[in-house]
Amino acid sequence: MVEDTIFALASGHGAAGIAVFRISGPRAAGALAALGGGRPAPRLATMARLCDPASGEMLDHALVLRFPAPASFTGEDVVELHVHGGRAVIDGVARALGGLEGLRPAEPGEFSRRAFANGKLDLAQVEALADLVAAETEAQRRLALEQYGGALSRRFSQWQERLTGALAEIEAVVDFADEDIPAGALAHALEEINETTREIDSVRQGEDTGERLRSGFHLAIIGAPNVGKSSLLNMLAQREAAIVSETEGTTRDVVEIHLDLAGLPVIVADTAGLRETADRVESEGVRRALVRAEAADLRLFVIDASRPLAVDPLPAAVLGGDSVILLNKADRLPLASVEQAKNVLKSKCSLPVIAVSALTGAGIDDVLRHIRAFLEDKLSGLGPAPLTRERHRLALSDAAEALARALALADRSATPEQVAEPELVAEPELVAEEVRLAIRALGRIAGRVDVEDVLDLIFSRFCVGK
């Protein structure tokens, strides 16, 4: 039973027209009254003169809203104060709320945690809410909204329901072995398990793509120093993609640039920092760039067209996966030489080769087209409601493993007709146990079972006010 009433600024910091405070808990309505907001009708935006109850000083003209439990975001009594967005107003209101008995500032993610506790959101929806707030591109927004709408949880609960039905049939066989079980009950249960397994497998095939779509596809621009990597990145960013944000990468010296490429989130590791260390420890710089490249979804390997091409063999990291070779500085060569250089490269590997110039911009559109086609190809295999997090992936792989064990126990190499008779399955109770495990694993997505340990982790990543 939650007793505290919590409050927080739900809108962002920094000067803005309005700022929104959220108050949730049994004393929310009382707090509004104490500030002079009266008791407005539920869900009706009402003007109020808010005053500090301690000093009586007026704080702001505000728009206030009351959402009585349970029809609120948290499922508790909630009040929203839409005040003017100035620093002093925000500080004054926060001080006044903090001075009220039984009110305290919310912890990060505490509103969502209460919504979860009160059954307003399941865990996948809570995660989607965090994604929605963090979404930088259209594709991310669409994905987050779909999951927030419960698409992922619905799919998991459908599997749970189907398996629960199968479990009931198997248990009937176990419990009433001597009695008249409808012929084919077990076969039907096993067919359901089989079908669920097939569906789970198809979702698991796109699991990486869903995560990438949420967090960004990784693109690595690699190549020797001075071939034009930074110039190319700048050109790509200017031409089509908007630079959304720059964050420090996990590796020192690597800056990640988030691009919005035709609505898709792309993270490019800018290895410009590596170049500075290149003189000193060139091999270390190259090593790091290659490690980075290996983990990327797509590699752009840049070669200076104006330098002799018979140089080093192409690195394994480039040859190994999805890569494209960019023959840069094509402006320095006559067209015929560029074509010749392309042919030399193509004879050395089976990768696509695109001639570009980061200086003039020639060929950049081809590069962007290539990247887009690559991403679209990846996304084409993605069904509805993809998995977006490792947590989902783990739950699903646990479920899949349990079902595989169940099927192995029941020996699905036999035809349905052969397992139609209960006695053909040696230990139906063991099959039932595996199915139970699978159901539990699926339940973890929505957070209905076994989740205490992950709750703290998930909610602590939220910022205050959500």
Q: What does the binding site for ligand GDP look like in residue numbers (CB under 6 A)?
A: 223, 225-231, 272, 275, 328-329, 331-332, 357-359
* Tokens read off for 155: 């799919």
Residue 302 beta carbon to ligand GDP: minimum distance, rounded to whole angstroms: 6
Q: Which residue is nearest to ligand GDP (CB)?
A: 228
Burial class (CB in 10 A: 0-12, 13-18, 19+), 113: buried
Nearer to ligand GDP, 211 or 282 (CB): 282
CB of 230 to ligand GDP, least distance (A): 3
Q: Which is nearer to ligand GDP, 160 or 357 (CB)?
A: 357
Sequence-distant (6+) residues with CB within 8 A of 93 are 21, 35, 50, 59, 60, 81, 83
Closer to ligand GDP by CB, 129 or 364: give it: 364
Find the shortest distance in angstroms from Cβ 217 to ligand GDP.
Answer: 21
Give the pair of three-digit tokens for residue 156: 């998991």
Q: Which is nearer to ligand GDP, 290 or 464 (CB)?
A: 290
Q: Give 246 or 427: the residue with its C-beta nearer to ligand GDP.
A: 246
Residue 253 CB, nearest approach to ligand GDP (Å):
13
Report the residue number, 82 or 342, with the smaller CB distance to ligand GDP: 342
- Least CB distance from residue 307 to ligand GDP, whole Å? 11
The pair of structure tokens assigned to 321 is: 């996966």
Q: Encode 322-357: b = buried (16+ Cβ within 10 Å), e = exposed.
A: ebbbbbbbbbebeeeebeebbeebeeeeebbbbbbb
Q: What is the largest CA-CA distance in the chain?
A: 87
- Output 332 or 412, the one with its CB closest to ligand GDP: 332
Instruction: Calculate the CA 215 to chain-centre distance.
Output: 5
Could you tell me the smallest distance in angstroms from the CB atom of residue 407 to ligand GDP? 53
**How many other C-beta atoms lie within 10 A of the C-beta of residue 138?**
13
Whose Cβ is closer to ligand GDP: residue 81's or residue 235's?
235
Mapped onto helix, strand or coil, the DSSP state of residue 257 is strand
Identify the bridge partners of residue 285 per DSSP, sorted by sequence position.
none
Nearer Cβ to ligand GDP (22/299): 299
Let me know: does 67 contact 41? Beta carbons within 8 Å.
no
Least distance in Å: CB of 226 to ligand GDP?
A: 4
Q: How far is the CB of 23 from ligand GDP (least distance, A)?
A: 52
Q: How far apart are CA 329 and CA 222, in angstroms?
A: 15
Beta strands 58-67 and 78-84 are: antiparallel
Q: What DSSP line would sit under 17-30, residue for residue?
A: SEEEEEEESTTHHH
In the complex, what is the shortest distance from the CB of residue 165 to ligand GDP, in angstroms, rounded to a whole number? Answer: 59
Q: Other C-beta atoms within 10 Å of 234: how many?
A: 16
> Edge to edge, what strands does the sheet with 18-24 contain?
46-51, 58-67, 78-84, 18-24, 5-9, 103-105
Question: Quick one: which of 127, 197, 165, 161 has its CA closest to 391?
Answer: 127
